[in-house]
Every structure is written in C-alpha cells, then in structure tokens.
Structure 1
Amino acid sequence: MAKNSSNCIQILVKLEVFKHDDGLCYSSSSLYSFRDVIRPTISFSCPPFDDKSRDIKWFKDCTPLDSKSNKYFSVENVLSINNVTQQDEGKYTCEASFHYNGASYTISRTLNLVLRAPVITSSPAIIRPTNNILPVDLGSPLSLVCEVQSKKKFFDVEIIYWTFDNQSIEMYDGFDERVITGAPYKKSPVEELSVVELNFTEVKEIDYNRKFFCKVDNEANIKAFVMLKQPDPNFQGFLIAFFVSLVCIVIILLILFKMFKVDIVLFCRSICPSKASLKDGKFYDAYIMYPKDTKGTSSSTMGVFVLKVLPEVLERQCSYRLFIFGRDDIPGQATVDAIDEAITKSRRLIIVLGNNSSGYRLENNFEQQIAMYDALIRHKTKVILVEIEKISDYSNMPESIKYIKQKQGVVRWKGEFTEAKLSPKTKFWKNIRYRMPPEQHQLSKDSNDRMSEKL
C-alpha cells in the first residue's frame, strides 16, 4: 500500500510456494510448457528471469548439462540446443543465485520441452481418423475428431468437413439434434493443425456399420473414415465367475464325498448290484478270526459278538456268508487244512480284537499265522480290523496287525450289544459293509443246509 496526502494505491501480489517432488529438482505443479517442432536448432529462455546478469546453470531432468559440449550453448538466460532430436524432450531447469539482506538464495524455473516431428509433405495430411473401426456402446455419447496437418501457412480450415456414405453430414438422421458438427478451428498455428469435431449425444443402432468420412476439399481430395460398431461381448467376467464357481463346487463335492463316502458307495451298490463276486470262485464273503486261549475258548464278550452279533447282521440281514472256526468247520478235519481251505475260499479276512487286558495273545495262535500269510502274501486277501473294545496300546500286538492298522485303520464297536445297534444302517455296520464285498441280496442258508453241504 502506498499513500500520500491525496492518493492511496493498493497492490495485491499472489505468492505461491511449491515443494519439489520427491527425488526431483522441481514441482510438477509449477512447470512451464514449451512446444516446438524438431529442427536443427531451437532456443528458449528461462521463464521469467528479469535480471539477465545472473550466472545461470542449466539442468535436464535434474542432471547438469555439459556446457563444454557443442550440443548446448547458453547466453544470459537463453539456452540453445543444436542437432535437435526427439531425445531432447524433457524437463529443463534453470537455476541462479541471488543475495538479499546479506543472505544467499537460489531461484529456479523448470520448463517442459515437448517436440514434434515436422510434416514432410506439402499437401495436407489427415492425422485422425485413420480408416479405423471404433467400438462404442449403444446409448453412450461420442465425439469424433477430424485432425488435419498442413505445412501451408495460410491453410483454409473451411475446406475440412464431415460426410457419411458420400453424403453431406447435414442429411444425416438427427442432425442438429442428436448429431452435431462443430466449426473448424486451428488447434495449433505453429504446427498448422486444424480440427473439426462430430459429436453424438447418444449412439443409436442406425449409427453402427456406417462410415463417417473426414474430408479435405482440395486438389488431392483426401479423406479418411471411422466406422462405429458394437463392442464385442466381454466374457471375461463370466468365465472368471464360472471357473471360480466350478472350483468351489468341486471342492464342496470332494468334501461331501469324503464325509459321506461310505453312504455313497453303499447307495451305489444298492442301485447297481455287482456280479463280480459270483465269478471269483470264492465261497465265503469273510473268514472271521478272533483271539482264543490255549483251550480254544474266548471271552464272553468276544463270543457273543462273533457267534451271535456278526451272524445276525451280516448273514441274516445282509446275506453274507461267513466262516467261523468252531462253527463251520467239518468235524474230524485237520485244523490246519480246514483253516487254510476256508481262508482260500474267503473274499475278506475279519480280525476281531479285544482289549489286551483279556490275556489273549495272537502271536501264539497258529490260526493267525496261517491267516496272515494267506492274506498278506499268498492271495492278498483284504483284511478288516474290528475292535469290540477300545485298545489304546498295540505294542504287544503282532507286527502284521500293527501294519494293517497303520495302513487302513480299524472299525470300533461302541457301547453294549443292544437291539438298536444290530441294524445294518448304523455307522458301525455301514463301515463294515463298506469294506466287505458288494452284497448279492441272496437269502442265506440256515445252519442245517450249510452242514449238509459240507457233509
């Protein structure tokens, strides 16, 4: 503010302070722009430095310029570049020091140099469109640009216009309402760029597959077109969703199959009976082996399970044929021969185990030795381990039993022998049936018929 006895003058000055971008010597928001065409030499000044007496240093992209080379030449605040190429584009920073109130400061300006190749031909050239096909959504707005470059200093922009299918654009459906053409104008007098636009407020079906021409009305009568078309369907989102859903479904099915594998297998067997077991030459579905003492007797729990529970469910309700030594062997037959023959004719070997505290040891039982040899070595009969009591310690069991348990686990009975637990649909019996051969749904023979066959 300056005032005297008669006047008061007030001047406002706007001061903007910029911080340099990280790792740079300038701020992108405070750049000065300078455009030029590529020619042998271009010059520009440091904007705006009023005092030309300062010692000015120049940088390109924050790297000091080599003042001793023939490429750059600076006088006061003007920098000249020789043998200009496209690589000379960049950010040019001029820096000078000054003193104020006994302190030294630095002032700098950064200029963004943009270079463009000159047009070689003397006749006008259409930069856009380029005889291309443009996908555009139905109902969306659209702006088409006709851009023409000419080296003629006094090029008449009025000779640039839009047509469609060799007709005036003014004859187009919806002209001046939905389709509007702008007036031609000079975009860049330095580069002699002239532009005329064709705008659509919304694209309709009638606009598709129709050529819109940008024409230059001169002796060359050059033109270029752009054709509108509907975008191709984008199936990427659908495919991603499909494959993600497919993977989720597969994972869910695998989890469900793992959870209900036993029920699924038993259901498939029930609707598709297998006849393979009838052609394998076997007579028994399973040989039942259980521990006995030296007198050939078993514990009461073991005897009830083997001689009553197993026959009730597997033979009477599921039509399986079981061989239980002591029940099905022929009187007077050699024990070793009877066991070997029965195991050979059996499709499965069911080993029933009780708690170790019962005092029965399998390793001294020759029946067990024959069965294991036959099952694991000679005929590779599948073995089913059944625990009628929870066995927490297998350290005293034979190595063959430990091996089978480790490979396929055991089926464990829980609770008492009640009538409700004698249903083939309970979890225990489903696991047994799953490991047994498919049921043949044949009526089992009573003990008299079985004995008569053997005799």
Structure 2
Amino acid sequence: VIILINDTLKLFHFAGVCPQIPEEIWVKEGEIVAKFFKECDHNETLWRSFTKQGMHLHNNTPAAEHRQMGVMVQQGIFVILSASEKNEGNYSCSLKNSSRQSWIILKVYTGQSRDSEQMNQISKVCYTEEYCQLYCPEKNVRFNTLNITRSGITWHKEGGSSPKDGYFPSVKKEDSGNYTCTRSYLYDGQIYNMTSTVKLDVQPNKITKKAVIISPENKQVFEIDLGSTVMIDCKAVMMSDTDGLVWLSGNSFVETDTSLPVFYNDTHTEEISMTISLIFRKVSEEDLSKNYTCKLQSAYQTSFVTITLKQKASRSYTSLGVCFVIIVVVTFVTVVTYVKFKIDITLFLRDTLKWSGSISDGKCYDAFVMCYKCDTAGGLNPSDKRWLESVLEEKFGYSLCLYDRDVLPGKAIADAVLDCVEQSRAVVLVPVSPDPDPESGLLSAIHEALVERQTRLVFITTETSMASKSDSFPEALQLLSKAGNCVTWKGISSMPTSSSFWKQLRYYLPAPQQAPTVELLPQTIQDVTS
C-alpha cells in the first residue's frame, strides 16, 4: 500500500496536480461504501482509481462496466456497492483544467478484525431512569441520484435485547454495551448494507429535578360542539433549554402550519414554564375519533398526556317540554289547593305562628257585633247569640264591642252606633227574631261609615233567610249584604267550633289583637237589637 501511495503521489506531481491530504476510510468486507466530495460536484468531474488492478478513469467508463467493477460515480458522488480486497487503494476526483484534487484511501477489513471495526464506532452517554436515543450514522450522499433507495435501519446487541428504533424509554445500567446498527439500501433488486457500532455508556442519574406536564390531565375528556373552534393548552414546567413540548395526533406530529384544520403554536414561554396550544379550526367528527397527545421530551426523560374530544349532549326539547308541563301542573295544583284550603291555611298561620297579617291600628275592638231583624223565623235566638259572642271572646280571643254591654247611657243611638263602628276593626251583623230592626236611616249611615273607613263587614245569614233571597231585606240591609262577606248559620251543625261556619267567620274577621283598656260609651236607650 505504501508503494502504491508513493507511486500515486509521484504521478500527481508529474502531472502538475496539487493533491490534498487523503482521507482514510475503513469499510467492512461485503458492505457498501459511499463518499460525497462537494468540491467535485460538477458535470466535468474526473475520477481516478489506483488499486491492485491498476489505474482506471471512471468518468469515461460505461455504466455497465461500473456495475461490473462495483464502483459507481456521478459528479461528486462515489459509491462501492460491495467492498472487497480488490477495491483497496486510492480514489481521487478533480475538475477538468483544475490543479486541485480530492482523494481517499480505502481499506477493507473482515468481520474478525476487531481493531479495524473500532474505526467505525461512536460513543453515546445516557443516564439511568431517563429516555435514551441511539443514532445510527448516516452518509451525506444523494443516493437517489444513482437510483439507490434507503430500506430501513435495524439495531442489534450481542447477548442482549435489541431496542426498537434505538430508543430506550427508561434506560438502565445493564443496557450499557455495543450496539450495531445496519442501514440497508436497495439497488437493482438487491440489498446492500452499511453497519456502524454505537458504544452506549449508561451512568447514574445526577439530575433530581425533572420536567413535568402540569395540564391537561392524562385521559382528560373535553366536551365540544361540532363545527366550533377549540383551543386546548398544554402547560409544562421545563428544567432545561433543550426540553421540548409538542402535540401528536395519534402517532403523527401535529404541525404548526396555521392553514391546516388542526395545528399547534407556542402561545407563550415564561421563565421555567412553557405552553403550547392545540387548535382546531373547525371540529369535525373525525377529530372525535382520534387521541391527541402532549409530549414532553427533555434530555433526561419523556412524558405523555393523552386527551380526547367528546361532543356535548344535544339539548332535549322533549325534556324541556316535560319540564314545562310539570311546572304548569304543579302551579295548577298549587292554585287549586290554595283556593280550596286557603281558609284552613290562613287560620293555621294565625293559630300556630301567631300571625296577624296587620299591624296595630290603634282601634279598641276587633269587632262590633250588631243585630238586625230577620222577618222569617230563622234568626238566631238569644241563647245562640250569646253563644256566638262567648265563643268569639273566650275561645278565639276576640275583643268585641257589644252595644248592650259596652255603651253607656247618655248619647243618641245613631252616634253611639257610629262610635262603635269607628273604634272597631270589623262589624258583624247578626240576624235575630222577633226583635225590631234598626231604622233604615241608621243602617244607611252604617253603610256609609263602612265604605268611608274601609272597615270589614261580615253579614251572617241563616238557611231560611238565604232561601227567601235578599230581596225581602230592606234596601239598607241589601246594600250591607252586598258590601260584606256572607256567612251562613246552620243551626245546631254550626255550633261546634270546628264547623265551616266558624272557619269562615274567623277567616273574614281580622286576626284578634290584644285590646287596650277602653272607656265605656254613654247610652241613652236600650240596645238596638235586643
């Protein structure tokens, strides 16, 4: 070889060519060797080889002869498909009419030559419990210009498991060792290989702080509307400038091209945090069937967070209609119940909660009990009248103004009656028989006083008087019956305090209030009614 090199150098000097320092290339027997010379990348490139077979000019050699010799050249590309000992030697390229020349010394070794194999070995350092990626050396050669296509990479470790694609998710100390990567190339229906050795040295991890994804949560489901624009942020805490954050759709990387239906961008980067946004321009049904992964990759580890999209539940108008019907039914039932039981509800509030529904108005009596004549025999007799007054005062606590008891002599009947009306919150007209009725003028004055002062009026009738209609009443009584609330006395059935008569009477009367001490009114004549 030394003699061959010296002869070559002498030839170069004789030809007036200035050679550069040659590059020494070691290749395993039977494998492909490739080299690209940038300075020779020209159509007028002259290739020469000096081997044991002699000197050859390759630029003028037919392509068929190139394949037969196993040497292929095109402009600055030099390829030997299957190296053998006969290919050992010197190879050069130069441009026509140029004194500069680039050349290599090719040496071929066998599989048993370990020392020579170390010439194509590179080193890689990784740390325990972190991800580790081995890289297979690649030649910077445009193989496609020679119709040579790449056919994949395989990894192999003697006496150990081979990593897929040279990747360790969490490397261990026992993963240390030599890994052989084989790059395959296809040409004219035949596979040619190029092998390299990567020496992996796994060292203890000295890094305590690790990068981590803060949001979103793993397996989180985002509810969206079809056709809407959606942006999902992935935020992570970074520990190094080399840490990276990307989005994946399935197993493919999402691009940053904003014209695509789905893309991602960096929204902002702070001191130790980074946020990237996954953006859907218009969510489609196809997007709902995919998994989207936010991948955090640093020099020491890799972590993933996977999310999915889910369509929001559509609004159910049937449910809305059912709810509306239920509300209407409940409202109707509530109104009907209140109308039917409003008397019981009001009395319950009064008796149980001591609710009166009004504030003190300064009046002395809760009600003024006044009698009127009933032409029929259906009026209350004196004992029924006394029973009525006794129950109102003693049972239900009403403060009553009774003409024959609370009015003192010395004043005209009309004035005394109007004073009683003035000092009472309500007026109760009770039918009696056969007592004489008040004068019509007095009844008219009472009606005017009630209307003016908006005093409540309860008009008690009997079943007999109701049957004879109110047309038989004097005109003044007819006005009073129309102005007040009528309650019917039904004789013995109305005696119990739980009867409807007492409920209606108490409902129309104001709630009883504690009556202040009052002075007796003057009286000049007997009671109007008894």
Q: What is the TM-score of this pair, normalised by structure 2?
A: 0.37
- For the pair shown, which has the larger CA radius of gyration, 1 or 2? 2
* The structure with more strand, counted as a fraction of residues: 2
